[in-house]
Amino acid sequence: MNKPLDAIFFDIDDTLFSTTVFADKARRNAVDAMIRAGLRADRSDAIRELEDVIAEFSSNYSGHFDKVLDRLGPDSHAGNNRAVIVAAGVVGYHSTKESDLKVYDDVYSTLKWLSSKSLTRGIISAGFTIKQAEKLVRLDVLEFVTPSAVFFTDQVGFSKPNPKLYRRVLETLSLTPERCLYVGDNPTHDIDPTNNDGWSTARIRRSGRYAEVEGETEATYEIRDFLELRRILETDFGL
């Protein structure tokens, strides 16, 4: 007998696309652009300082490239306007968004297939609202998502893994957990809280920093890509 399913929700980072691979390339491209604009520093040293700044100040900090220049010292930009070097880093990073911020092919095809089904297709993503919204727009999947079912933790007021986040989503859309499926990569932030509240869950282990991390609970399903997810939706949920 097929399981009832009223809604399926997705995480964004390292679920719809490889945030880890993208971020690494974007940061390297940013450093290369800064060097072309006049930064005098060893490339590996500059990349290491940028990674340290991100680790210490978070990825949401707005002054990453300024801090890199501070750490490398005044000789690294002497004779140049530091604002130009910083701007080059910003442009280099955002240019990578234009070229590389894309969902996996199997993600696109599965979301397109799901869009023809009579169920809610939502997003529950952690992070600053505008940053997560920009990712969703750039990934070019909005046409496959139910507009009223997009939730960013910064807007909701609860962040992962707070179970109140997921309960607020269900309350807003008048859904029950037993008839919902959540797809994410983080075992402690995506899978555990939804498991504990009675959702069906699918953990994707394709890539990312959480691929080898274990949570307190096991996902209902483990998948390597969205083609496996589609097969599960067809066989277990009758889609």
Domain limits, the chain: 7-17+102-235, 21-100
CA distance 165 to 5: 20
Question: Which pLDDT does position 10 carry in this prediction?
Answer: 98
43-57 and 19-36 helices, crossing angle to 10°: 130
CATH for 7-17+102-235? 3.40.50.1000
Q: Quick one: tokens of 60?
A: 């949401």
pLDDT tens string 136-149 = 999 999 999 999 99
| 8 A C-beta contact, residue 53 and residue 70 | no
pLDDT tens string 66-102 = 999 999 999 999 999 999 999 999 999 999 988 889 9
Question: Which pLDDT does position 207 carry in this prediction?
Answer: 74
What is the percent of the chain with per-residue pLDDT over 90, rounded to a whole number?
89
Q: How confident is the model at residue 238 (pLDDT cuts 50, 70, 90)?
A: very high
43-57 and 64-72 helices, crossing angle to 10°: 130
CA distance 104 to 234: 20
The architecture (CATH level 2) of 21-100 comes to Orthogonal Bundle (1.10)
Position 208 pLDDT exceeds 80 = no
pTM above threshold 0.75? yes
CA distances from 205 to 1, 58, 92 (A): 28, 24, 29
pLDDT tens string 6-17 = 999 999 999 999
Same fold, 7-17+102-235 and 21-100: no
pLDDT tens string 110-121 = 999 999 999 999
Question: Which pLDDT does position 32 carry in this prediction?
Answer: 97
What is the percent of the chain with per-residue pLDDT over 70, rounded to a whole number?
100
